[in-house]
Amino acid sequence: MERIRLADDLTFSRLIHGCSRLADWGYSAEQLLGLIEFCLERGITTFDHADIYGNYTCESRFGEALALQPSWRGQMEIVTKCGIKRPSKYGMKSYDTSKDHIIASVEQSLRNFRTDYIDVLLIHRPDPFMNPEEVAEAFLRLKQDGKVRYFGVSNFKRSQWEMLQSYLPFPLVTNQIEASAYRLENFADGTVDLCLEKRVPPMVWSPLAGGAIFSADDDRAVRLRGTLEQVRGEAGAATIDEVLYAWLLVHPARMMPIVGSGKRERIERAVRALSLPLSREQWFAIWQSSMGHEVP
């Protein structure tokens, strides 16, 4: 599988396996290890996590599986995120990007994964109360201690990216953003342009729009399904899933879609998309179908 270079000594697999719903799959440690092996055999070596996934349980479940084959740790890249806090005494979600919280979160993640380093740590969401000096201090300490190799962000817009980057002595290596043929916000607001400008390959969450393309009955979804089905037939794809992944994969930004499924057949569809021929004309047909009008 194609590798995407994020730094001199860091590459990700072009497809990333997402573990946000790992706790819902009902897998034993042995079954999860089998799924990890399935991914590794297909060249998917990068695994995406966050401290809060599965109500703070997904990291430890993954670690329990990996403990059955600890040598596999060297064959993979582990990404995790921190900064979101579950409902407090006020009954609402909040953010915490303080130095102490970032460091404590990483320490817990290391225990959960049963490893001594994280490949990439992301700030999960932009924090309106962020003190970038504290974030920079936390990142620098974690890097110096060898606990985190590289750092990035998730869901950051241009001003937020540039603000945090200005405090760091090393470059952020990725921005994990939402993108799909159904949800184009990050194309429209310059976030994808920023990734191209900075030569930063974005990780892409919800590449199938959380399934909305398959089930929603709004005009956009209906139009898209028709166009995707047409392109599927032209390109020889088995399902429109493959077309949706291919639509992201052919983009010049070197997008890395996150496949967040525990089902092998769904992962296989994403892998098949890597070799799916998709022309510029077909790409724009899908774009215009989503927009509901022709390009100016």
**Active-site residues: which are they?**
53
Burial of 223 (0-12, 13-18, 19+ CB in 10 A): middle
Alpha carbons 132 and 280: distance in angstroms, whole number: 40
Pairing of strands 203-205, 175-178: parallel
118, 145 contact by CB (below 8 A): no
Other beta carbons less than 10 A from residue 191's beta carbon: 22
- Rounded distance between C-alpha atoms, residue 69 and residue 138, angstroms: 31
Contact 95, 110 (CB under 8 A): no
Query: CB neighbours of 52 closer than 8 A, spacing ≥ 6?
Result: 84, 85, 86, 124
DSSP-derived letter for residue 126 is: -
Nearest 5°: CA angle at 124, between 119 and 129? Answer: 130
Indicate the pairing of strand 16-18 with strand 46-48.
parallel
Q: Find the Cα–Cα–Cα–Cα dihedral 181, 22, 216, 296, rounded to 10°.
A: -10
Q: Which residue has the tokens 């959380």?
A: 210
Distance in angstroms between the alpha carbons of the first and the last residue of the chain: 36
